[in-house]
């Protein structure tokens, strides 16, 4: 049986695994939220960043990817290493509706935020989110790039995220006519912390 995977954040624009079909998809019962502290990819333990999780309630539009059976196990192992090393998410299958005109609903692997995990932030005020995103840098790069890339992809799909768009405005980004983002208007200055992380990445 084919494995379907639901992407709502970086998996949408950088899945990193082989798939044979992709489609816009809608998940009911959970919404996209910057509700997970990142200690590795977009921050550190001393200055955590913020990454997206699927939190309970609402609905979420993203991308669904179909992986052939021969790649099922390898893909699951890859996603475990990339998305869930600290078990911050519950990897569960949920029905998602494909938005491709076919009317299909498939069971897709979804990463639902564990509200009892120590990395769960709850609902942070918008100003707090903006401050964390501006300052944080991790192994995969600046936190702000993660947010911008995600929202840019959503805009290109024609998806307006009511939670992320106000944050984008605080960060100094506005959509262009083609749905992309403009250049940084208020990019945070390079701090001693960010510089030290960047130098460490180069030395590593």
Active site residues: 83
Residue pointed to by tokens 């709502």: 8
The C-alpha atoms of residue 98 and residue 104 are separated, in whole angstroms, by 6
Length of the chain: 204
How far is residue 84's CA from residue 109's CA, in Å, rounded to a whole number?
A: 13
For the CA atoms of 185, 181, 111, 37, the dihedral, rounded to the nearest 10 degrees, stands at 0
List CB contacts of 15: < 8 A, sequence separation 6 or more: 5, 7, 65
Burial degree of 85 (CB within 10 A; 0-12, 13-18, 19+): exposed
Distance CA 7, CA 192 (A): 34
Residue 27 tokens read as: 């998940």
């Amino acid at each position: 049986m084919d494995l379907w995977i639901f992407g709502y954040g970086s998996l949408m624009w950088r899945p990193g695994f082989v798939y044979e079909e992709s489609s816009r998809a809608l998940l009911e019962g959970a919404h996209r939220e910057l509700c997970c502290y990142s200690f590795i990819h977009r921050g550190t333990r001393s200055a955590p960043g913020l990454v997206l999780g699927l939190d309970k309630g609402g609905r979420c539009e993203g991308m669904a990817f179909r992986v052939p059976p021969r790649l099922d196990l390898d893909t699951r192992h890859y996603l475990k290493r990339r998305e869930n090393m600290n078990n911050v998410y519950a990897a569960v299958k949920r029905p998602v509706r494909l938005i491709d005109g076919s009317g299909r609903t498939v069971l897709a692997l979804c990463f639902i935020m564990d509200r009892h995990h120590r990395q769960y932030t709850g609902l942070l005020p918008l100003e707090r989110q903006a401050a964390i995103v501006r300052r944080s840098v991790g192994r995969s790069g600046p936190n702000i790039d993660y947010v911008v890339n995600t929202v840019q992809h959503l805009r290109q799909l024609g998806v307006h995220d009511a939670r992320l768009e106000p944050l984008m405005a605080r960060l100094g980004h506005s959509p262009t006519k083609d749905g992309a983002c403009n250049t940084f208007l208020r990019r945070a200055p390079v701090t001693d912390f960010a510089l030290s992380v960047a130098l460490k990445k180069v030395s590593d």
